[in-house]
Amino acid sequence: MPSEHNFDLPHSSPLLIVISGPSGVGKDTVLQRMKERGLPFHFVVTATTRPKRTGEIQDKDYKFVSKEEFARMIEADELIEYAIVYGDYKGIPKQQVRTALASGKDVILRIDVQGAETIRKLAPDALLIFLTTESEEELVHRLETRKTETAEELKLRIATARKELQRIESFDYIILNHDFHLDETVDSIRAIIDAEHHRVKPRQVTL
């Protein structure tokens, strides 16, 4: 009879997952659907100094803080990374990420392209996913139909988005977020995360 042999399978650690992409690709909408579907991830709440938009909830959509409070967080080294985004500060609270990873949960960050590249430097084994549209024209159309910015702000967002589309090489995966196919986008993200947990050489995230 053949002798029994149990494989010593590699242990998969919790993943640090970055969902990024230009303004207008639907990052917030995708994350909202992931939450609605009850996916077993910790969604990090970003701190920001920008005003709360209609319908947004404190400590759920963002951690809305004053510029004074944000300055205190920077000085106290409470942020993994932070940046000025269209005139307002955004940052990732360090303790929130560390606590979630320690609990064994995969952690999802929603940040801009510049912030994603900063995370890559701090945590080389982070999993970076780039959301985009089918074309630059489609992205511009989405930004124009949002009607959440002034004409000047819109021009800035479009110019920034065009630059960000050139940063795809910094990411591990790219997903087209088609209009009216939100669940397909979420399914693709889930499939990537599931596959990553089956790597022979698991990612080891330290922050």
Q: What 3-state class would DSSP assign to 174?
A: strand
Task: Decide if pLDDT at 97 tops 60.
Answer: yes
Quote the mean pLDDT of the chain.
Answer: 90
* Tokens of residue 70, six digits: 């944000």
**Higher per-residue pLDDT: 181 or 6:** 181
Q: What pLDDT does 153 receive?
A: 83
Give the pTM: 0.86
Contact 34, 131 (CB under 8 A): no
What is the per-residue pLDDT across 113-142, written as a single tens digit (0 to 9) for each? Answer: 988 999 999 999 999 999 999 888 888 888
Residue 156 identity: L
Task: Decide if pLDDT at 7 tops 80.
Answer: no
How many structural domains are present in the chain?
Answer: 1
Give one word for 87, left, alpha or beta, with left for phi > 0 and alpha for psi -120 to 50.
left
Mean pLDDT within 57-72: 94
In a domain, 204, yes or no: no
In a domain, 30, yes or no: yes
Q: Which residues are catalytic?
A: 53, 146, 157
In a domain, 29, yes or no: yes
What is the per-residue pLDDT across 141-181, written as a single tens digit (0 to 9) for each? Answer: 888 887 777 888 888 888 888 888 889 999 999 999 988 89
Q: How many helices (H) and strands (E) does the chain have?
A: 7, 9
In a domain, 176, yes or no: yes
Domain that holds residue 54: 16-196
In a domain, 205, yes or no: no
Q: What is the CATH number of the domain that holds 31?
A: 3.40.50.300
Q: Write down the H helix ranges in 23-111.
A: 27-36, 67-75, 94-102
Instruction: Identify the sign of the CA torsion 19, 94, 200, 193.
Output: negative
In a domain, 147, yes or no: yes
In a domain, 5, yes or no: no
In a domain, 22, yes or no: yes
